[in-house]
Amino acid sequence: ETGVTQTPRHLVMGMTNKKSLKCEQHLGHNAMYWYKQSAKKPLELMFVYNFKEQTENNSVPSRFSPECPNSSHLFLHLHTLQPEDSALYLCASSQGRSNEQFFGPGTRLTVL
Amino acid sequence: DQQVKQNSPSLSVQEGRISILNCDYTNSMFDYFLWYKKYPAEGPTFLISISSIKDKNEDGRFTVFLNKSAKHLSLHIVPSQPGDSAVYFCAATGSARQLTFGSGTQLTVLP
């Protein structure tokens, strides 16, 4: 595997379900990010981890819970989501807080 | 309020002609600007960037122009090729090194 990978690629869940999104980067980077992209909207930064420590939380509801066990892996735990949370969730990584971020292919989430 | 705006959701260009994608920003603290390209079912990929100390950066068929006084940047692709058809995102960053993205422009290059 190379670059940034995300699983699953597609996820359909009910509002009472608990699920997790996984991201793995094979680039040796030490910063990882979660973004949300809703239809026709800009990418919205959700969380930033630098050296496994969360450095940013952009007012994200607590039903989204990130976890970064090491510099290569990032999870987004989902619990009691709302239909408006349906979106493309993108993971990215970078070397430190450099400008250039490398993105995974995203997880297309649908909340019923 | 969006700090980075791409006012054209879509653009169609004939193969071989020039594509010009535009982006405006409002935050004068932004000092670095990037363009990302996104194909369906893939994540955005970095294309080209420019620092605020420059007004032009060129990489092959791609050139980015920055007009700081107008808070405007543009991406020129010449000649355009059908493989350039994708969504193009403009992004900006300041000292916090967080990327702020525009909403994207869908470019279609017609053969």
Helix (H, G, I), strand (E, B) or coil at A17: coil
Closest CA to B109 of B37, B36, B41: B37
Higher-confidence residue of A96 and B11: namely B11
Distance separating alpha carbons of residues B28 and B16, to the nearest angstrom:
35
Contact, B77 vs B62, CB < 8 A? yes
Distance separating alpha carbons of residues B109 and A35, to the nearest angstrom:
28
Q: What percent of chain A has a predicted confidence (pLDDT) above 90?
A: 72
Question: Does residue A97 have a pLDDT over 70?
Answer: no
Strand partners, A64: A78
Q: Which of B24, B32, B38, B59 to mutate to test the interface with A (most CBs of A within 10 A)?
A: B38
Distance separating alpha carbons of residues A89 and A107, to the nearest angstrom:
5
Closest CA to B35 of B9, B6, B1, B12: B6
> Between chains, do A42 and B102 touch, taking CB under 8 Å as contact?
yes
Dump strand ranges (E) for A1-112. 4-7, 10-13, 18-25, 31-37, 44-50, 53-57, 64-70, 73-79, 87-94, 102-103, 107-111
Instruction: Dump pLDDT digits (tens) for A26-75.
Output: 999 989 999 999 987 889 999 999 877 777 777 899 999 999 999 899 99
Instruction: Dump pLDDT digits (tens) for B45-102.
Output: 999 999 999 999 999 999 999 999 999 999 999 999 999 999 999 999 987 778 899 9
DSSP-derived letter for residue B69 is T
Going by pLDDT thresholds of 50, 70 and 90, the confidence category of residue A98 is low
> Between chains, do B9 and A43 touch, taking CB under 8 Å as contact?
no
